[in-house]
Structure 1
Amino acid sequence: MTRAAPRDLATSVVICAYTERRWDDLVAAVASVREQTVPPGEIIVVIDCNTELAERAAAEFVGVTVTENTGKRGLSGARNTAIDLAKGDVIAFLDDDAVAAPDWLEQLLAGYRDTRVLAVGGAARPRWPDGTRPALLPGELDWVVGCTYVGQPEVDTPVRNLIGCNMSFRREAFGLAGRFAEDLGRVGRTPLGCEETELCIRLRQASPGSVILFRPEALVHHRVTPDRLTWSYLGRRGWGEGISKAQVSRTVGADAALATERDYLRKVIPAAVARELVRGSLPGVFALGAVVSATAAGYLRGAVAGQRLRIRPAMPRLVHGPIHVSTVDLSVDASVARGEIPVPARTVGRYRAAQVLVRDGERTLDVVLLPVSGGVVRLDEIIARGHSRPRPAFERPLISVVIPTAHRKEQAVTSVRAALAAGYPHLEILVVDNFPPDGPDEVGDPWLRREVESLGARYLVEPVKGVSVARNTGARASKGELIAFVDENISVERGWFDAVAEEFVADPSVGCVTALVLPASLETDAEVLFERLKGYSHTVRRQRLDRETVREDPLYPLSMARYGPGSCTTWRRSTFEGLGGFDPLLGAGTPSMAGEDLDLFVRLARAGGTVVYTPHAVARHTHRADWLELRERMRGYGVGLSAMLLLSVARRPVVVFSILRRVPRGLARLSSRTPELPLADRAARARLRQLRRDERYGMLEGPVALSRSWAVARSSRWRRRHAP
């Protein structure tokens, strides 16, 4: 992506406020922004939990967007509210008790001349109540009152983090690192902070080649009230800072969270103490000692009370940076002759590794993880793998493609287009809307209906929630001999249906065919972690799995995931209908959250059916890119697994002994899976452990979730539509 030059950047200036006591300050802050030498594109004032103040501001500030905080109470929630509203290429933040210099915005934008720069901040000078610095506050402690302190750079310098009252970010920075962590930061008058520190650290970790620039010429004047010049406030502020730093350490790692602080304690504080002693300023010496001691005590308190104070980061640090995802076809790619694959440059930072799908025409040869060096991936090992046989000719049966969709309907349309582009001549595509707008069931979503039908696909409405119900609805309405179930976040690649149909035609005993599903991207930490723990690219060897083959696995039936992802499977109609379809008590959209595909595989194995996994049918899965969504998804997998096992016992009680005998080994397997993806540091390993814990804790919720699904199933509407 090409970034605009500073003069072409549209800007949004955000000011957050919460109390009428600062009304005059807020008026001065807004006026200073209006008087900039480079006018902002828009000014956004966010009021945190104060309706009267919001009404007053809306009436007073003509031409200013005034809104109330729609997030969690506190400064971080207010800032995130503004980010959602802002339209500018650059979003700048100014405190409500700060006044910007006339060229403040101009100086900030000048920092973006370097396209590597993702954030620019400036200096904040204190405005003392009586115009003079108090003796008890040396310049090295100006951070206590929210200002630039002695020891910070005096020229343009890349830094770890910016100061909260004077900072700006490119819009794309929030796409890379997420938003402000709403469990950090000031709430009312509570002197906590570090939300901007934590965000800046995450931004550097999400984009290692980026720059966060401190530009002293971008100046604001920050008012200091008399209540902040007391010994009590110094102690509380230091204590709050320590607790906040402990929280940040757990989120991004202690090394990143405390790097600047170590230099501050080793260099800045000793020099300040020596200077104050020479001057004979005992209040300054005592203030330095008191603030440092209170901060250290707060940090220890935060570290000891880790579980109670644990925060939910918007996105964790990357395991080893982004991974480039690509495909090389040995039969057509000109890059093979040169022995290398060019890797495109990222907007910020660089790829350190590439996941390469190696194809030879219609056949998959391998999926390899290779280092990126000098912007290319060497192909020496890939070329040596040789070529594969062509696909034999066969008569292609009609395949009905069922795509259930709920919250990601745009992705469902993309999935339809991918299916049409796969090059299979006999397709019937049915999109089942499982989250239609309120209204008559037959109407559904007009936009989705129009998009789907314009592509030649059929649009169905299934208002009863649950992916299993939606799939079953699509299957009943379909006509094909084969039924392919493709989730809305999966796009099949060219040749997918041919590879699947080939397996059914070659062996009439095959009841189901699963496919190789690779990530659509590995740009964020959450995507990399998901691929590490739940990635579907487990092998590039064709496998034929039946009851006897699977039962040889000591973890059966906990090992049914080896059949492949149920979100991208094709079933022979007779087999699917003979099993009764997906169980509506399981799956996304129900309290059980998942497990419907494993349950169907278990029933197939017990019935003596056969599954073929083919690596030659390749699809791309859009992984969860957000850390919190990934954690919830991992919990859902655990809930669904235990719910599925409990349902299996309910159907056939004798299997409880087999399950109980294998549970300890299965739990150990959940804790030890290590697919071959890079894992660079302690913080990354901690996040993997957290995701495994989420999955195990989810398993404890399975019985309750299954009972809730059962209660929903007994509702009159469900019984009327889906009673056997």
Structure 2
Amino acid sequence: MSSTPAPRPLSVAELDLDAPDGPVLGFRPAPGGPAVVPGDVYALVRLRGRPAATVVGTFAEGEDPAEVLAALARRRLSETATAPRTDAERRAERPASAGREDGRTEKRADGRADGRADGRVESSAEDPVDGRAPAGTPAAPRASVVVATRERPEQLARALDSLLAQDHPDFELIVVDNAPRTSGTYDLVTGKYADRVRYVREDIPGLATAHNTGLAAAEGAVVAFTDDDVIADPRWLTALTEPFAADPGLGCVTGLILPARLGTPAQVLLESHGGFAKGFAPRLYDPAHPPADEPLFPFTAGSFGSGANMAFRAAALRRAGGFDPATGTGTAAKGGDDLYAFVAVLSAGFRLRYTSQALVWHHHRDTWQDLRNQAYGYGAGLTAYLTATLVRSPRLLPALLARLPRGLAHARTMTAQRGETAEGGIPGEHGTQHHPWPRSLSRLERRGMLYGPIGYAKARARTRVRTGSRKAATR
């Protein structure tokens, strides 16, 4: 694997505090994870249930892990509270603009977004400490939750159990069975979950195609997407959908994804390299106000969120054309379906918000080969989605070409081999790369990036053939 020592496994836990300097309210293993054992522990810190930070600590036999981690958490939360506030954080406290009547942001006569140069905002304003919406917050809109799956009924059952336990007052749950080879998913959904989960079959393989099928079947004003290998926090759907009611110009919301297990070197390396986590500061991306600190915007879609935890205003996603069916897992493109959708919605003039209050726990693949496949797939998906964006929206080509030199430098940095950083790096804290990222994985990411446009072209050709065959069969 690498000449460097393999990362040690960590237990994964949740620690709930009454206040940043308050007593421990609760301590337990991550949902679906094993018991916490002496050694290294990665913990989500909650403040009366609200996700607030992550810490890593070590406890020995006979020590109280809750108290060991609580001391680290109080120190970390204190440092966060005293950090200087940026102009962007202060601006986030101002109410979101209502935008146009159709929900999109205003554009100048020449077609470019008008406004400030620093629209990406990170708020330091505290959410309610009990995790509930403040008085006067508009009710979460009716939602449809779509889970695309293929031949993983045991994992799917675990995900569905957590989704059916959501506190959202009005939602439907749709399972899209993608190119099934057996009846396992059908039997599960129509048996154990009959009358509680809708079953939809999609025979054309590919995650984007499955998501489009779910979108077509959805009846909710907001459509949320997650994967069959997650466990959703009970407030996940409410936290993910409430922002749509407060901001009519919002087209997409993404949320926090944390690891449910860190028991193998592959899982630890993935999380340390960035994983899926995007931190705890809420952020707003507005195409009318491109962020000054992201010169590649909106093509830095990987910073917006991930497909395991995303929701769209249904009308906005449909107006943007949905997902590109030639992208995503299950196609020759390998991935990029979520990134394409983020950019498509932003390009249509809608805003995108990230909130850490919408939490899912993700069960990472656990083998070295899985990690190799993911590294290659991430690289391929990145350039595949960029290719898809230009093919379907040629008007964005000048903007992409203007950002290309910086983009290539950024890609080289992100796929570089990395060594150890100073102590204190936290697996899952985006960008820390606390554990070394092997050269072999860097090479795979870059090979994937070279392959991405080819993979997209192959997938697009296959999609045309399948679509043509489907139309012919229905005549």
TM class, shorter-length: 0.7 to 0.9
Tell me which of 2, 17, 21 is aligned to 1:330.
17
Does 1:396 find its partner at 2:146? no
Q: CA contact under 8 A between 2:12 and 2:36: conserved in structure 1?
A: no
Tell me, in whole angstroms, the C-alpha distance in 2 between the residues paired with 1:340 and 1:397. 31
2:69 equivalent in structure 1:
378
Mapped contact 2:222–2:311 kept (Cα < 8 A): yes
- Equivalent residue number for residue 46 of structure 1: none
The correspondence of residues 695-714 of structure 1 with structure 2, limited to 5 A, is: 695-714=445-464
Q: How far did 1:692 drift?
A: 2.0
Give the 3-state SS of the residue equivalent to 2:193 in structure 1.
helix
Aligned partner of 1:465 among 189, 205, 214 = 205
DSSP 3-state at the match of 2:151: coil
Q: Give the conservation status (yes or no) of the 8 Å contact 1:360–1:388.
A: no
The letter for the 2-side match of 1:498 is: T
Aligned to 1:211: none
Pairs aligned (count): 400
Distance of aligned partners of 1:338 and 1:655 in 2 relative to their CA distance in 1, 3 Å threshold: closer
Higher alpha-carbon deviation: 373-382 or 518-527: 373-382
- 8 Å contact kept, 2:17–2:23: no
Q: In the superposition, relative to structure 1, how do residues 711 and 444 fare at CA in structure 2: closer, same or farther (>3 Å)?
A: farther
Alpha carbons of 1:608 and 1:253: their partners in 2 closer, same or farther (altered >3 Å)?
A: same
Q: Where does 1:188-199 land on structure 2 (aligned, <5 Å)?
A: none
- % identity of equivalent residues: 30
Letter in 2 for 1:486: T
Identify the residue that residue 83 of structure 2 maps to in structure 1.
none
Q: Find the aligned partners of 2:179 and 2:389 in 1 and give their Cα distance.
A: 28
Offset, 1:516:
0.6
Residue number among 383, 390, 398 corresponding to 1:649 in the alignment: 390
* AA in 1 matched with 2:234: R
Whole-angstrom CA distance in 1 between matches of 2:47 and 2:199: 36
Residue 536 (structure 1) aligned with residue 285 (structure 2): no
Decide whether aligned partners of structure 1 residues 477 and 660 sit closer, same or farther in structure 2, where only a CA change above 3 A counts. same
Does structure 2 conserve the Cα–Cα contact (< 8 Å) formed by 1:444 and 1:461? Answer: no
Contact 2:221/2:314, CA 8 A, preserved across alignment: yes
Mapped pair 1:691 → 2:441: yes
TM-score, with structure 2 as normaliser: 0.76
2:298 is aligned with 1:607: no
1:668 has 2:413 as partner: yes
Deviation per CA, 1:28-73: give whole Å up to 9, x if none: xxxxxxxxxxxxxxxxxxxxxxxxxxxxxxxxxxxxxxxxxxxxxx
Equivalent pair of 2:272/2:435 in contact (CA under 8 Å)? no
Shift of 1:599: 1.1
Match of 1:613, SS?
strand
Change (3 A) 1:426 1:485: same
Counterpart in 2 of 1:412? 156
Superposed displacement of residue 328, structure 1: 1.6
C-alpha distance 452-613 of structure 1, shift in aligned 2 (>3 A): farther
- Contact 1:366-1:540 at 8 Å conserved across structures: yes
Take 2:367 and 2:2, find their aligned partners in 1: how far apart are those partners?
15
Q: Which residue of 2 aligns with 1:433?
A: 177
Q: 1:586 aligns with which of 327, 340, 359?
A: 327
Shift of 1:398: 1.3
Shift of the 366–348 alpha-carbon distance from structure 1 to 2, 3 Å rule, reads closer
Instruction: Work out whether 1:474 is the aligned partner of 2:224.
Output: no
C-alpha distance in 2 between matches for 1:503 and 1:347 = 34
1:318 matched to 2:11? no
- Out of 142, 167, 179, the position equivalent to 1:423 is 167
- Provide the rounded CA distance (Å) in 1 between the counterparts of 2:466 and 2:37: 56
Q: 1:681-714 CA distances to partner (integer Å, 9 max, x unpaired)?
A: xxx9665332222111111111221121022112
Secondary structure of the residue that 2:262 maps to in structure 1? coil
Deviations, residues 525-576 of structure 1 (Å, cap 9, x unaligned): 1111111124122310111112233464123344211111122101111111
Deviation of 1:359 after TM superposition, in Å, equals 1.4
Contact 2:174 2:214 survives alignment (8 Å) = yes
- 1:447 and 2:138 equivalent? no
Question: How many Å apart are 1:349 and its aligned residue?
Answer: 12
Contact 1:484–1:571 (CA under 8 A) maintained in structure 2: yes
CA displacement at 1:435 relative to structure 2: 2.9
**Counterparts in 2 of 1:659 and 1:410: CA distance versus 1, 3 Å:** farther
* CA distance 1:520–1:478, change in 2 (3 Å): same
Distance in 2 separating the partners of 1:472 and 1:324: 37
Deviation of 1:414 (Å): 1.5
State the alpha-carbon separation in 1 of the partners of residues 49 and 242 from structure 2: 12
Give the Cα–Cα distance (whole angstroms) in 2 for the partners of residues 470 and 678 of structure 1.
31
Structure 1 segment 221-370 matched on structure 2, within 5 A:
251=1, 253=3, 318-319=6-7, 321-331=8-18, 337=23, 351-370=38-57
SS in 1 for 2:438: helix
Give the SS at the match of 2:180.
coil
Measured after TM superposition, the shift of residue 518 of structure 1 is: 0.3
Q: Distance in 2 between matches of 1:551 and 1:464?
A: 41
Q: Please state how far the C-alpha of 1:502 moved relative to its aligned partner.
A: 2.1
Aligned pairs for 1:191-210 within 5 A: none
Largest Rg, 1 or 2: 1
Whether the 8 Å contact between 1:585 and 1:706 is mirrored in structure 2 is yes
Relative to structure 1, the CA distance from residue 554 to residue 448 in structure 2 (aligned partners, 3 Å threshold; closer, same or farther) is: same
Provide the alpha-carbon RMSD of the alignment: 3.4
3-state SS, counterpart of residue 277 of structure 2: coil
Which of these residues, 353, 365, 373, is aligned with residue 624 of structure 1? 365
2:441 maps to amino acid = L
- Seen in structure 2, the aligned counterparts of structure 1 residues 601 and 323 have a Cα distance that, compared at 3 Å, is same
C-alpha distance 477-521 of structure 1, shift in aligned 2 (>3 A): same
Question: TM-score normalised to the size of structure 1?
Answer: 0.51
1:475 partner amino acid: L
Counterpart Cα distance in 1 of 2:443 and 2:303: 21
Residue pair 1:634, 1:691 contacting (<8 A) in 2 also: yes
Q: Is the 8 A contact 2:15 2:28 kept in 1?
A: no
Of the candidates 274, 286, 308, which is equivalent to residue 546 of structure 1? 286
How far apart in 1 are the matches of 2:184 and 2:26? 49
Letter in 1 for 2:414: R
- Counterpart residue identity of residue 42, structure 2: Q
Q: Secondary structure at the match of 2:290?
A: helix
User: Equivalents in 2 of 1:351, 1:330: separation in Å?
Assistant: 21
Shift of 1:337: 3.8
Larger proportion of helix: 1
Distance in 2 between the 1:397 and 1:348 partners? 37
Q: Does 1:658 align with 2:402?
A: yes
CA distance in 2 between partners of 1:351 and 1:693 (Å):
36
Work out the CA distance in 1 between the residues paired with 2:244 and 2:73. 30
Contact 1:483–1:572 (8 Å) recurs in 2: yes
* Residue type of the alignment partner of 2:134: P
Deviations 1:313-345 (A, max 9, x none): xxxx631x111211122249xxx747996889x
> What letter matches 1:469 in structure 2?
T
Residue 518 (structure 1) aligned with residue 268 (structure 2) = no
Cα shift at 1:420: 1.1
Task: Give, in angstroms, the shift of residue 381 of structure 1.
Answer: 4.2
Mapped contact 2:153–2:184 kept (Cα < 8 A): no
Match of 1:504? 244
* Residues 649-689 of structure 1 deviation map (CA, whole Å, 9 limit, x = unaligned): 3332334513422212322233277792479xxxx966533
Residue deviations 1:443-468, cap 9 Å, x none?
A: 88542333463361001100100010
Distance 1:609 1:678 in 2: 32
Q: CA deviation at 1:716?
A: 4.3
The answer to whether the 8 Å contact 1:318/1:524 transfers is no
Per-residue deviation, 1:383: 4.0
**Distance of 2:36 and 2:50 partners within structure 1:** 34
Contact kept, 8 Å, 1:413 with 1:451, in 2: the verdict is: no
Quick check: 1:556 aligned with 2:309? no
In structure 1, C-alpha distance between the alignment counterparts of 2:212 and 2:451, rounded to whole Å: 26
Does the 8 Å contact 1:635/1:698 carry over to 2?
yes
- Going from structure 1 to structure 2, the CA distance change for 1:685 and 1:341 (only over 3 Å counts) comes to closer
